[in-house]
Structure 1
Amino acid sequence: MPLCTLHLLALHTTTPNPLSTFLSTLKSSSVRPLVVSRVIRWIILPTKISTEHLLARNIKWDILLILSSTDDLPGEIAKLVEHHWSVTAGVPSRLTKDFEKTNRGLLHPDPATVPPLSSSNEKKTTQSSQDLELSAELNVWVDEFVRGSGREGKGAVSMFNLLAFNTGMKEEYLKYGAAFAKSIGSRHGGNAKIVGNVTGVNGQQEKQEDGWDEIALAHYPSIEHFRDMLTSRDYQEVNHKHRVGSLRDTCILMTSEIGIEEILGEGRAKL
């Protein structure tokens, strides 16, 4: 099973136009990433694992970079990075084969293939989104993001998931994953485009016993489709029955590959 490395990068703010400089340097390098995505915000925060590295010092992550190798970042890229966290995972070759073509189709779909959004303007909210529910704060933020973020606000989003299972509970999570793939997620345009078993963190060659177990990068046609899923009764039934109790810890970062295209000024950017 091929190994991929997922890099979270916080760029030096002293660099002029940090994101643009990073992307132009990446484009001129020998690196050929599977995914380059702009980090937007946390949906779920980690509570037990990697919190020192992911949350300490209020780090604002800028880039999610996914490479189909375990190589270190080239020096010209590394010098632009102030904070760096990485996780290596074995990803099935069926997912990495023709990934560029598959991903392009997800990011720029035929409008006729995109599921319709809910017609209801009323969204039932909760106090927190930590159990993958729609909090009142997240609901307000989604409205603001859609109104004020141009193509990025209306385009596809990629949710970066880290998962750690309670002892003996992975089978329960697999039931959730099966329901997501078969109907509940796909009904809202959800697609797990990269999944893998963690083999190491921050360059370590072996997975820690009390560390992360899996990674996933889930696609949605828009943040509004993701919100619709969170407020659907059938999704929350499966979420609470199979997902919530199976996880020892988890976190989700919302990212936008469309945001990268906008920075580059290209409708269908290639790196």
Structure 2
Amino acid sequence: MPLCTLHLVALNHTTPNPQQSFLSALKSTNLSPLVVSRVIRWIILPSTFSTEHLLARNIHWDFLLILSGTDALPSPLTSRIQHTWRITAGVPSRLTQDFAQKNAKLLKPDTGSVPAASSAALSPARTASSAQNLELSTDLKDWIRTFSTNGSPEAKGAVSMFNLLSFRAGKKASYLEYGKAFASSIGASHGGTAKIVGGVTHVEGVPRADGVEDGEGWDEVALAHYPSILHFAEMLGDENYQRVNREFRVPALRDTCILMTSEVGVEEGVRGGAKL
């Protein structure tokens, strides 16, 4: 199974226009990323694993890069990076084959090819006190309302949710039931699809007590696509979704986190002459 490495990148913001500088440097390398995505915000925070690396020092992550293979980032990029964290996973070749073409269709779908969503998604029958169990909380609902009307390309375009998953002992089968329902109905009916899913092999620089690198507790990574943040909100407010979420997903997880990212805008700038 081919290996892919997912890099979270926090830039050195003493550099003028750090994000554009980083993207320009990326275009000058020989890298061919599967995904270059701008980090927007945390949806679910990790509670047990990797908290020091992902949350400490008030790190603001700027980009998610997904690359085939396990090579480190080249110096033209690392010189612009303040912090980085990377996790490697085996991803089925059926997902990575022709990924650029498949991803382009998701980011720029044909008219009428995805279900519509509206601000009515932010008026669910019930609102949770927290989004930690992947429910629509008051705080998340208010943020989505503001974000979706800010006029930026990301506000109306597709979003990519980066998931880290750690399973309870003997509960992987339960999560697979959730995954089947997500693909066939509860996610698909809101335009959701899993673009990348892979089993974690290791987290760079995190040794076990015996000195062997492992996944620091994480079992799986996933990048889930939604046509817009409103589609995501609509799914969270759907009681059919929440019934499956509560029955199969929540009991299966020892820890998880979700980071909202956007490839919209970024992919235009990078693809203009980039090796993508």
Q: What is the TM-score with the length of structure 2 in the denominator? A: 0.93
Please state if 1:228 is matched with 2:229: no
Q: Deviations over 1:195-220 (max 9, x none)?
A: 00000002569663761000000000
Looking at structure 2, the residues matched to 164 and 222 of structure 1 have their Cα atoms a distance apart, in angstroms, of 26
What corresponds to 1:256 in structure 2?
262
The one-letter code matched in structure 1 to 2:68 is S
Q: Do the aligned residues in 2 keep the contact of 1:37 with 1:259 (CA within 8 Å)?
A: no
Q: Do the aligned residues in 2 keep the contact of 1:261 with 1:269 (CA within 8 Å)?
A: no
Q: Do the aligned residues in 1 keep the contact of 2:194 with 2:224 (CA within 8 Å)?
A: yes
Looking at structure 1, the residues matched to 121 and 72 of structure 2 have their Cα atoms a distance apart, in angstroms, of 48
Q: Deviations over 1:105-126 (max 9, x none)?
A: 0000012111122656622321
The one-letter code matched in structure 2 to 1:114 is V
What corresponds to 2:36 in structure 1?
36
Please state if 1:189 is matched with 2:191: yes
Q: Deviations over 1:81-123 (max 9, x none)?
A: 1000000000000000000000000000012111122656622
What corresponds to 1:73 in structure 2?
73
Equivalent positions of 1:237-256 (< 5 A) are 237-256=243-262
What corresponds to 1:61 in structure 2?
61
Please state if 1:132 is matched with 2:131: no
Q: Residues 179 and 93 from structure 1, CA distance in 2 versus in 1: closer, same or farther, beyond 3 angstroms?
A: same
What corresponds to 2:123 in structure 1?
122
Equivalent positions of 1:1-271 (< 5 A) are 1-117=1-117, 119=120, 122-123=123-124, 124-202=126-204, 208=214, 211-261=217-267, 264=269, 271=276
Q: Deviations over 1:205-261 (max 9, x none)?
A: 966376100000000000000000000010000000000010000000000000414
SS at match of 1:139: helix
Q: Residues 61 and 2 from structure 1, CA distance in 2 versus in 1: closer, same or farther, beyond 3 angstroms?
A: same
Aligned length: 270
Q: Do the aligned residues in 2 keep the contact of 1:261 with 1:268 (CA within 8 Å)?
A: no
Segments of 5+ residues of structure 1 without an aligned counterpart are none
Q: Do the aligned residues in 2 keep the contact of 1:230 with 1:236 (CA within 8 Å)?
A: yes
Q: Residues 120 and 54 from structure 1, CA distance in 2 versus in 1: closer, same or farther, beyond 3 angstroms?
A: closer
* Root-mean-square deviation over aligned CA pairs: 2.0
Q: Deviations over 1:24-44 (max 9, x none)?
A: 000111111000000000000
Q: Residues 120 and 23 from structure 1, CA distance in 2 versus in 1: closer, same or farther, beyond 3 angstroms?
A: closer
SS at match of 1:112: coil
Q: Residues 132 and 120 from structure 1, CA distance in 2 versus in 1: closer, same or farther, beyond 3 angstroms?
A: closer
SS at match of 1:6: strand
Hey, which bits of structure 1, 4+ residues long, moved more than 3 A?
A: 118-121, 203-210, 265-271
218-227 or 146-155: which moved more? Answer: 146-155
Q: Displacement of 1:155 after TM fit?
A: 0.2
Q: Do the aligned residues in 2 keep the contact of 1:86 with 1:203 (CA within 8 Å)?
A: no
Q: Residues 140 and 86 from structure 1, CA distance in 2 versus in 1: closer, same or farther, beyond 3 angstroms?
A: same
**How high is the sequence identity, in percent, across the aligned residues?**
60
